[in-house]
Amino acid sequence: MNIQKVGIVGAGQMGNGIAHVMALSGYDVLLSDISQDALDAALNIVHGNLSRQASRGKISDQDVEAAMARIQTTLQLTDIGQTDLVIEAATERENVKQAIFDELQPHLLPHTILTSNTSSISITRLASRTDRPERFMGFHFMNPVPVMQLVELIRGIATDEPTFAACKAVVDRLGKTAASAEDFPAFIVNRILMPMINEAVYTLYEGVGNVQSIDQSMKLGANHPMGPLELADFIGLDTCLAIMNVLHEGLADTKYRPCPLLTKYVEAGWLGRKTQRGFYDYRGEVPIPTR
């Protein structure tokens, strides 16, 4: 099918990044959220990131204006149903995602494809709650969306080939690379990445090293661009915990048990960069390790 209009549910870090790349690639975008402040902030972020690209010569000023003109916003979730492709980018909680699809369903066009940007939750289970499991799949962008080249495409058990082909065509038009993943907990990237982060937290918890030594060891010893604890703060510790819980529950293997220290940080509301404290304290000019 020919996708022209994309609806995005959630204007947070992932949602505004998806809106950015979609609009820049010529798609009409309808971005929704429950808060007007969130929508206004998202537009400001998108404009700032586009302008940064223009200042570096990657796109023109005309590209910035054209992309911004393609993004419309709405507080009414039901408006999203009138698009060709829906990308749900809400918080990583299954009950929230299911409620979104339940509310959307009566307002969808017959041909609308539903997708979720979930990083771990079962696509088959989410799809089973809708009237179109054959036109439902996982569409997992990496963060930050404008920079990262990979998009995981995840088929549910009922996803048909035209739906996969349509989403693959979108990825191609964005100039990104698609990786096809099976519908198992956390798919490919987070199935590998999150246990590494969790093990880094265990290393901290058990006193093997402090925050700085763990991150420095992985950057200099394994040539990682970011240390695992720094990366956890960037992703969001609540998201890391949610994915580890999905892995632990879905695969029933104790090796995926979330570290108690990760749970404690989340319970304290120290979620990383977005709350200014996590494994680092970001409230000053320079991040300071919290342990």
Based on the residue annotation, tell me whether 152 is a catalytic residue of this protein: yes
Structure tokens at 128: 């089973």
CB contact at 8 A, 151 and 142: yes
Runs of H (alpha helix) within the chain: 13-24, 36-55, 61-69, 94-104, 123-128, 161-174, 189-205, 211-221, 228-235, 237-251, 260-267
Q: Pick the catalytic residue: 122, 190, 198, 230?
A: 190
Angle among Cα 178, 183, 188 to the nearest 5 degrees reads: 55
Question: Which of 287, 108, 283 is closest to 215 using CA atoms?
Answer: 287
Based on the residue annotation, tell me whether 119 is a catalytic residue of this protein: yes
Q: Pick the catalytic residue: 32, 117, 120, 152?
A: 152
Helix (H, G, I), strand (E, B) or coil at 117: coil
Q: Pick the catalytic residue: 16, 92, 117, 140?
A: 140
Q: Pick the catalytic residue: 119, 120, 122, 198?
A: 119
The CA distance from 176 to 187, in Å, is 18
Based on the residue annotation, tell me whether 55 is a catalytic residue of this protein: no
Helix (H, G, I), strand (E, B) or coil at 58: coil
CB contact at 8 A, 145 and 168: no
DSSP annotation of 89 reads -
- Reported as half-sphere exposure (CB side, CA atoms, 13 A), residue 56 has a value of 7
Q: Annotated catalytic sites, by residue?
A: 119, 140, 152, 190
